[in-house]
Structure 1
Amino acid sequence: MFRLLLCLLVHTFVAAATAAGDEVIILLDFKSSLHIPTSASAYFQSWSASASLPCNFSGITCDSRNSVSAIDLTGIGIAGNIPFSSLCGLRSLSKLSLGANKLSGEITSDLRNCSGLLHLDLANNILDGDVPDLSQLSGLRVLNLSMNTLSGHFPWSSLTNLTALECLRLGDNSFEPSPFPTEVTKLRSLYTLYLSVCNLHGQLPPEIGNLINLVDFEVSDNFLSGDIPQEITKLNKLQQLELYNNSFTGKIPVGFRNLSELAFFDADSNYLTGDLSELAFLNKLVSLQLFDNEFSGEVPAEFGDFKNLVNLSLYSNRLTGSLPEKLGSMSEFNFIDVSSNFLTGPIPPDMCRMGMMTKLLMLENKLSGEIPASYANCSSLTRFRVSNNSLSGMVPPGIWGLPNINIIDLDSNQLEGPITKDIGKAVSLNQLYLSNNRFSGELPQELSEAAALVSIDATSNYFSGEIPASIGKLNALDSLSLDQNMFSGEIPDTLGSCSKLSSLTLASNLLSGSIPASIGNLPNLNSLNLSGNQLSGEIPTSLTSLKLSSLDLSNNRLSGKVPAALSINAFNNSFTGNSGLCANGISFLPHCSSSSGSNSDKLRTLLTIFLVIIAVILTGSSVFIIIRRRRPISSADSGLHSKESWDMTSFRVLTFDEQEIINSIKQENLIGKGGSGNVYRIVLSTGKTMAVKHIWNSTDPAAAAERRNRGSVTAMLSRRSSLRSREFEAEIGTLSSIRHVNVVKLYCSITSEDSSLLVYEYLPNGSLWDRLHSEAGEKLGALDWETRHEIAVGSAQGLEYLHHGCDRPILHRDVKSSNILLDEQLRPRIADFGLAKILHCSANHAVRDSSSHVIAGTHGYIAPEYAYTWKVSEKSDVYSFGVVLLELVTGRKPVEIDYGEDKDIVRWVAGRIRSRESVIGLVDQRIKAAAERERAVLVLRIALLCTAGIPAMRPSMRTVVHMLEEAGNANHRPATAASADGKLVAAADQKNYYKQ
């Protein structure tokens, strides 16, 4: 008997040892299949082949029989495929947690063999493909597959066998569209249901009320519609309810007050109506986000008694009445945004009572009364925005000097009094908006101590005295607007030290003296307006070195000759009202006599001519040469008149003549059509391939043919066409001088009375639009993030050159992904620049530039200021480029139906930025690697800065290039929930200044 027992013990021990040895082998095979980053190598040092048991391996837990029961390798950065077939050989495995890594590949059907699993967490990886049937995993309590790139039809029906499920998280994937799965409503044990960004359509079913144990229910960022079902009021254990960014309609259901445990409620960006009375009983609310709906009525007074409420966002509704006086006084209140409503009454005084408030946003209401003095001590504030209200009285002095404040926005109120010396303490202040108020007094010298200032707008006030010379210490200043005040004295020469200044407006004051020559030293100055003052003396010649797109010196007392470089048609209205000025290039100023110019001017002119001659002699054959030939050319294309006279202007050394180009304008060579003309691919006799754009000078070819046939009756039209042709040639002359690796090469133009041919280098990989959005691009394969980033940087460098690298800024006017062409190595070239103001555009262009009376821009890319100014600036190009960046990051088009009515990609993205999950979810699902998705988030932030609603808040293209290069730095730390989300939310908040 003893021997029998001994044999049994030995057999059991041997079997256990064998099983343990097998499990060691399985785990080591798993390790060998992984890519382990250096940062995690120490973690796996305990995974040794010499180990007899795996229980001491890091991340491994064993049961009482020393069998592996749990694998937890969450968030250590491992990559590779998951070998489900071998891992499911661990017979006691009940927990497999591999979330927050870089694991890829598919979830194979071998997973079904892990029938003992209770906990499966594969979230936040880059797993793709279909999800297999899960019905064999009947014991599962936790299933988390969220934040991957899973696709196909999810096997919802298999969930009915998983009756023990307590936590189901499938959000942030690309499943095929489906109605809300009613199978889920049968899982009565669920306490967490996360189905955000799952491509769900239709309505929430009434059966949702069956899930009475739900604590967390999230279905945001889907396509759900209809009313919020009444049955949701049965879920009285709910603590978090996320319904945002859907199309829900109707009112908050009666009985919603039963959700007495609700702490986090977010239903923003829907079409909800009615009042907020049902929420007055939810006194455990911590965060309430209902912005961008159609709620009306008053904000419940009970909100003032909520002891946990720290975040209240109700902007863009139709709310009326006063805010509760005690709002925020009972809690560590942090954030309020009630902008764009019809609220009246005073600002609640005690929202910063606990000293935790960071953002107070109440712009675009009808608030009245004074700014409460209590906020002067709210040192935690970073944003104080109350513009477009009816506030009055003096600003409490301490507000000017809040140490962490980034934005003080008081525009368009009835505020008065001075800016106090306290502003010198505002060391974090970036933007100061004071326009359209009644502020008075002098600007304090201490303003210069707010060294982080980027933008100052004090337009339309009663400020007086001299502009302080100390303002020249503001090295970060990009925009200074002090127009329509009563400033006197001279313009401080120190302004020339504000090297980043791009916009300077001092119009309609009492300024006197001469224009400081130092202003001509500002390398980034794009807009200068000194009109309506008492300035005298000559216009400094130093201004000719500026790259100005806007100049206004009118209505002063200036005299002398306008510098030749400023005597151009673009500045025709810039010098009126100066009786002492003369010019040789401006029609309504007196013509300068030969004696008008000084001897130094004459000497300078002679010296310039001499230097040009020397330069031509020295550069020899490499000099930029324009050759003109004009003779009749025959054409094989019926669209070109066979007896037309053609004028060829070449800009580079050519290996072809106009005959070869014209003969190739045939239907079989047509490769594209656009608003400005047809594009042809032409293979020259030398084997070189060119792209030729055929542009009709009249509105269409038929009109041109009709004009040819009508003879002298159309003489006047012919003269107009000739004038247009000369304008075209002048513009082409400018464009042809551009030499940059990221700007498409223009070889020559061939023009006639009716049409023009532009001969460009041929880019074989088409446009960025094609690669991102077309079926042909899809067949070529998705662009990885590194390639997308290089395209972004190259395109930005091309635009930077146009804005900052030419003698005068060249505004593209139609930046879009279809105008970014790709060469053999997918390097970008900016195309179709500078032409929008002289070409006839198609119907998809929607806004006109008032200066040229020609539509400039394409729907979805057009900067919002076009809607009310019709003015084009460099910042308009920056906005359009920001849209291109959003395309690169999200993979989506600028305008799509599912954005909703009157929305484009800018508003769609801004409305979806609330958490790390939602930010990552915006990244194109075709970008697989987790690290690349994190880096894409950095570029997403840059895109939001570029698409700010106010032009002055957008960075210059030079800054954009720098930021993109930083974002692509291999050593740059990836975005985190704390860093990236905060910056993205801040950037998105900028758009609320003026709703787009």
Structure 2
Amino acid sequence: MASATIFRLVFYFLSFLCLLSVAFSDDLQTLLSIKTAFQDSNTRIFDSWEPNAPHCSFSGITCDSSGFVKEIELSHQNLTGLLPLSSFCQLKSLEKLSLGFNYLHGLVTEDLNKCFSLKYLDLGNNFFSGSFPDISSINGLVSLYANCSGFSGTFPWNSLRNMTYLQVLSIGDNPFDRTQFPQVILNLTKLNWLYLSNCSIEGNIPDEIGNLVELIDLELSENYLIGEIPKTITKLTKLWQLELYSNQLTGELPPGFGNLTNLELFDASDNHLHGNLSEIRFLIKLKSLQLFQNQFSGELPPELGDFKYLVNLSLYTNKLTGSLPQKLGSWADFIFIDVSENFFTGPIPPDMCKKGTMKKLLMLQNNFTGEIPDTYANCTTLIRFRVSKNRLSGQVPSGIWGLPNAELIDVAENDLEGPVTSDIGKAKSLGQLLLAYNRLNGELPFEISKSSSLVSIDLSFNNFSGKIPEEIGELKQLTSLQIQGNAFSGSIPDSLGSCHSINDVNMAKNMLSGSIPSSLGSLPALNFLNLSRNQLSGPIPGTLSSLRLNLLDLSENRLTGSIPDSLLTEANNGSFTGNLGLCSEKIRGFRRCSPQSGASGHLRTVLVCLAFATIALLASLLAFCYLKKKRQNIGERSLKEDSWDLKPFHVLTFTEDDILDSIKRENLIGKGGSGNVYRVVVGNGKELAVKHIWHTDDRRKIGSSTPILNKRGTKCKEFDAEVQTLSSIRHVNVVKLYCSISSEDSSLLVYEYMPNGSLWDRLHTCNKLQLDWETRYEIALGAAKGLEYLHHGYDRPVIHRDVKSSNILLDEELKPRIADFGLAKIVQANSMKESTQIIAGTHGYIAPEYAYTNKVNEKSDLYSFGVVLMELVTGKRPIEPEFGEHKDIVDWVCGNLKTRESIVRMVDPTIPEVYRDNAIKVLKIAIHCTARLPAGRPTMRTVVQMLEDAQPCELIRIIVSKDGGDKQ
């Protein structure tokens, strides 16, 4: 009997081991199937997931004591693709599934209900679509994160009814259908983290919110909440963070609000709250207090000056009065203050930068008095210093002019005096210097030229004197120079003509003398020029005629000579009055010009110069005509006499002669880097675009009209590349190549004509259209699909290598076509997807890896396409003066990802507000595409999926941290 019992025990034990082995094998196979589902992801997390390795050693996997998979941690891993829920839920012991901050898309199905054992689920910060599924079967959940993931429709609130263990519920930043505050939440008394911001909750905050006494974090911002903050909220004494901003709440802070003594972060900005802030005095642990854009009144509690942890204070646009506590910000590593647009009085607290950490001091439009404290002269961390529209007096501490990180110094509209000191040369980051309407005096130091980031200078209506420094021409980023209403003397610096970005110059009402520099006529961006009420003399430079000025005012000077006819526009009426020496044949009130008028003393010199100029012009014309005739002869010989080889790639409805006869000057519509482009209309009325490429070297012999023929040279290689690529492509979003026509000396590419030009034309030139957001989105998606086809539609991917808005053409319905494959390259089969080493591309679109590898691959196209997306969202060019020296649109966008407000301000203002959040999501995709490291960029296939999930009706808001609510 004993031996039989032992035998049975051994048998059962071996059977149990066998079952365990099978179970372990099941878990291993399930994990390998999950790896397969994410095979397109750019991640190293799966490198250890090998069939012969123990599955409990896989990266991101934690097993229980029995060897079954208990936890999967795959957040922040660049995962792409659909969510393989059926595989995940086969892991019967799975308690934690963390997939947040990835690029997962598509629907989350009801299969999620099969993950019965889950206690922790994180699907947040992805790109899903459709509704969030019913999860009532997972009633053991403790933490649920599904925020910022693209879910829409109605959230299944009732599925939370039996989740009595739930401690974390984070489903904000999803465009759910509008709903009243869900009552089911009020019974989840173990909740300590409730994030419901920006998910379309409306109505009042219910009194029962006070039942959730375990709450540490309560965030209800950016919803449609109305009414007062309920008094019962004061029961939530464990609260660490309370976010109520951007609603329509009314009333006062409830009595007893000071009971929330553990509160560190409080933001109720952008509501309709009123009353005083006396309850705040008890919240001694506050680190950030943001109540801007409300109607609070009364004085700040003096206790605020003793808060030991306060680092952010934003109270702008209220009705607050009295003085600020003088110890304010002196205890902690204070960062930020914005109390603008109130009625504060008294002095500026002197010690807010005592710890050397302050970044922004914004106190404009109040009634502050006294001097600017000397302590801020040493605050080298300051980025923005704005104290304009107050009653400040005395001198500006000299060190403030030279703050090395300051991007904006604004002390305008006060009663300040004294000079701008030479310290200004140390302000290397300074973009705006706003000093108007003070009593500042002295000469403008030449060291201002060393502030090379300056974009805007406004010194107007002060007492500055002396000469304008000649070195001002070194400010290459300068777009606006306002110095009117001072006592500047001497001549206008000729070097100002080197400021090619400048569009607004106002030097009116000074004592400037001498002539107007002709160099001003070389400023391509100049729109406004006001030199009135000075002592300028001499003639009006003819170079001003080349400018496209919206405003010109030269009145009240001592100018002489004739007024150029090209400046006699209706907009310039009155621009020349008060100059007794001027004459005109067309403007009433001016004397008629005689042969001796103007610079009569120099008439002989002018006539001699004119004679020589005429002779030179005639000689040039004769030479030009000779060269032109020679080139025409070559062109006619090449097109009409050479032997041509036509290769069709589609069924043609035109002949070779139809094309050859149409290559003439009157049909020329563009000149590109690889050849001229002609618009051709063939016999049946069909419009075609024809690119004519000479097989020549880029060099030309001086004085020769004959190209240096290089039969298999640069142009021929470009032609071969374009033909090789385009002839095999069949996609609705890639320009169609009908045929090629080649001779020994040149070649023609015949492709479909795009009547609406390029995306660049429609965004940035005088031919631009007011593209609505839906159209921009469709252009983005169509162009992405075209590039996806190039990257993924072949056995070997096609790299375009010059993706830009001017190479995205638009048909009659504004549908996009990817064009200009002169730089395209098919990745060779033996290259192991290595990159090419030919320098190619366009400045502003080129990926940063060029700088250290001189190589391109598919990820380089992704970067360039990200720049195009930024153009569509912002309306900006890739390179703009406002971005700063050596910076482009990518730098500018990344530099503005600080606050919600700064992100919204980047969106093209012509895009309606209802689509702003949609545009921001596309901007988020652009940011992914322009990751500095190529490995951090998604594939083009993923980009298409992300854009498809970002249809205008389904977009969600980008998550940003609110950095003090700076709106100034």
What are the equivalent positions in structure 2 for 1:708-747 lying under 5 Å apart? none
User: What CA distance in whole angstroms lies between the structure 1 residues aligned with 2:412 and 2:159?
Assistant: 58
Partner amino acid for 1:158? S
Post-superposition CA distance 1:246-283 (Å, at most 9, x none): 11111111111011100000111111111111111100
Post-superposition CA distance 1:409-456 (Å, at most 9, x none): 001000001111222222221111100000011111222222222211
What are the equivalent positions in structure 2 for 1:689-838 lying under 5 Å apart? 768-769=771-772, 771=774, 794=805, 823-825=814-816
Q: 1:337 maps to what in 2?
A: 338
CA drift at 1:183: 0.7
Tell me the secondary structure at the aligned position of residue 19 of structure 1: helix
User: What CA distance in whole angstroms lies between the structure 2 residues aligned with 1:914 and 1:191?
Assistant: 31
User: What CA distance in whole angstroms lies between the structure 1 residues aligned with 2:524 and 2:903?
Assistant: 39
Q: 1:110 to 1:971 in 2, by over 3 A?
A: closer
CA drift at 1:500: 2.3
What are the equivalent positions in structure 2 for 1:922-961 lying under 5 Å apart? 933-936=923-926
Q: Which runs of 5+ in 1 are unaligned?
A: 623-651, 655-683, 690-737, 746-759, 799-818, 829-880, 889-908, 940-965
Report which stretch shifted further, 86-95 or 966-975. 966-975
Tell me the secondary structure at the aligned position of residue 459 of structure 1: coil
User: What CA distance in whole angstroms lies between the structure 2 residues aligned with 1:612 and 1:486?
Assistant: 48
Q: 1:109 maps to what in 2?
A: 110
Q: 2:80 maps to what in 1?
A: 79
Q: 1:579 maps to what in 2?
A: 580
2:23 is the alignment partner of 1:23: no
User: What CA distance in whole angstroms lies between the structure 2 residues aligned with 1:595 and 1:523?
Assistant: 33
Partner amino acid for 1:308? Y
CA drift at 1:494: 2.2
Partner amino acid for 2:73? D
CA drift at 1:102: 0.6
CA drift at 1:968: 12
Contact 2:899/2:963 (CA < 8 Å) preserved in 1?
Answer: no
Post-superposition CA distance 1:595-634 (Å, at most 9, x none): 54853696599789979999999999x9xxxxxxxxxxxx
2:481 is the alignment partner of 1:488: no
Q: 1:647 maps to what in 2?
A: none
Partner amino acid for 2:578? G
Q: 1:913 maps to what in 2?
A: 901
Contact 1:567/1:584 (CA < 8 Å) preserved in 2?
Answer: no
User: What CA distance in whole angstroms lies between the structure 2 residues aligned with 1:449 and 1:78?
Assistant: 47
CA drift at 1:767: 7.5
Contact 2:491/2:514 (CA < 8 Å) preserved in 1?
Answer: yes
2:134 is the alignment partner of 1:144: no
2:67 is the alignment partner of 1:66: yes
What are the equivalent positions in structure 2 for 1:392-411 lying under 5 Å apart? 392-411=393-412
Tell me the secondary structure at the aligned position of residue 816 of structure 2: coil
Q: 1:734 maps to what in 2?
A: none
User: What CA distance in whole angstroms lies between the structure 1 residues aligned with 2:11 and 2:808?
Assistant: 80
CA drift at 1:886: 6.1
Q: 2:326 maps to what in 1?
A: 325
Contact 2:787/2:818 (CA < 8 Å) preserved in 1?
Answer: no
Contact 1:785/1:927 (CA < 8 Å) preserved in 2?
Answer: no
Report which stretch shifted further, 601-610 or 441-450. 601-610
CA drift at 1:13: 0.8
CA drift at 1:149: 0.7
Q: 2:298 maps to what in 1?
A: 297
CA drift at 1:772: 5.3
Q: Which runs of 5+ in 2 are unaligned?
A: 598-602, 633-664, 668-681, 688-755, 789-799, 820-868, 877-896, 908-912, 944-957
Tell me the secondary structure at the aligned position of residue 551 of structure 1: strand
CA drift at 1:743: 5.2
User: What CA distance in whole angstroms lies between the structure 2 residues aligned with 1:98 and 1:35?
Assistant: 15
Q: What is the CA RMSD across the aligned residues, in angstroms?
A: 4.3
Q: 2:743 maps to what in 1?
A: none
Q: 1:708 maps to what in 2?
A: none
Counterpart pick for 2:46 among 25, 44, 47 = 44
Q: 1:4 maps to what in 2?
A: 8
Partner amino acid for 2:924? E
Q: 2:230 maps to what in 1?
A: 229
Post-superposition CA distance 1:753-801 (Å, at most 9, x none): xxxxxxx99x9xx97438359xxx99x99778789999x9859999xxx
CA drift at 1:478: 1.8
Contact 2:783/2:816 (CA < 8 Å) preserved in 1?
Answer: no
2:167 is the alignment partner of 1:159: no
Counterpart pick for 1:599 among 607, 611, 627 = 607
Q: 1:646 maps to what in 2?
A: none
User: What CA distance in whole angstroms lies between the structure 2 residues aligned with 1:786 and 1:370?
Assistant: 60
CA drift at 1:202: 1.0
What are the equivalent positions in structure 2 for 1:236-255 lying under 5 Å apart? 236-255=237-256
Contact 2:345/2:366 (CA < 8 Å) preserved in 1?
Answer: yes
User: What CA distance in whole angstroms lies between the structure 2 residues aligned with 1:327 and 1:537?
Assistant: 58
Q: 2:745 maps to what in 1?
A: none
Post-superposition CA distance 1:302-333 (Å, at most 9, x none): 11000000000000111111111111112111
User: What CA distance in whole angstroms lies between the structure 2 residues aligned with 1:222 and 1:578?
Assistant: 62
User: What CA distance in whole angstroms lies between the structure 2 residues aligned with 1:447 and 1:537?
Assistant: 29
Partner amino acid for 1:6? V
Partner amino acid for 1:45? D
CA drift at 1:883: 12
Q: 1:537 maps to what in 2?
A: 538
CA drift at 1:821: 8.4
Q: 1:550 maps to what in 2?
A: 551
User: What CA distance in whole angstroms lies between the structure 2 residues aligned with 1:180 and 1:103?
Assistant: 29
Post-superposition CA distance 1:919-953 (Å, at most 9, x none): 9x99878789x8x55244699xxxxxxxxxxxxxx
What are the equivalent positions in structure 2 for 1:470-549 lying under 5 Å apart? 470-549=471-550
Q: 2:284 maps to what in 1?
A: 283
What are the equivalent positions in structure 2 for 1:680-691 lying under 5 Å apart? none
User: What CA distance in whole angstroms lies between the structure 1 residues aligned with 2:125 and 2:28?
Assistant: 27
Q: 1:67 to 1:184 in 2, by over 3 A?
A: same
User: What CA distance in whole angstroms lies between the structure 2 residues aligned with 1:284 and 1:552?
Assistant: 58
Highest relative contact order (Cα 8 Å, sep 6+), 1 or 2? Answer: 2
User: What CA distance in whole angstroms lies between the structure 2 residues aligned with 1:241 and 1:911?
Assistant: 18
| TM-score, scaled relative to structure 1 | 0.67
Q: 1:601 to 1:826 in 2, by over 3 A?
A: farther
User: What CA distance in whole angstroms lies between the structure 2 residues aligned with 1:251 and 1:275?
Assistant: 8
Post-superposition CA distance 1:378-430 (Å, at most 9, x none): 11111110001111111111111112111110010000011112222222211
User: What CA distance in whole angstroms lies between the structure 1 residues aligned with 2:961 and 2:495?
Assistant: 33
Tell me the secondary structure at the aligned position of residue 203 of structure 2: strand
| Aligned residue pairs, count | 735
Tell me the secondary structure at the aligned position of residue 174 of structure 1: coil
Q: 1:887 to 1:495 in 2, by over 3 A?
A: closer
Post-superposition CA distance 1:650-701 (Å, at most 9, x none): xx989xxxxxxxxxxxxxxxxxxxxxxxxxxxxx997679xxxxxxxxxxxx
Tell me the secondary structure at the aligned position of residue 150 of structure 1: coil
CA drift at 1:93: 0.3
CA drift at 1:147: 0.8
Tell me the secondary structure at the aligned position of residue 465 of structure 1: strand
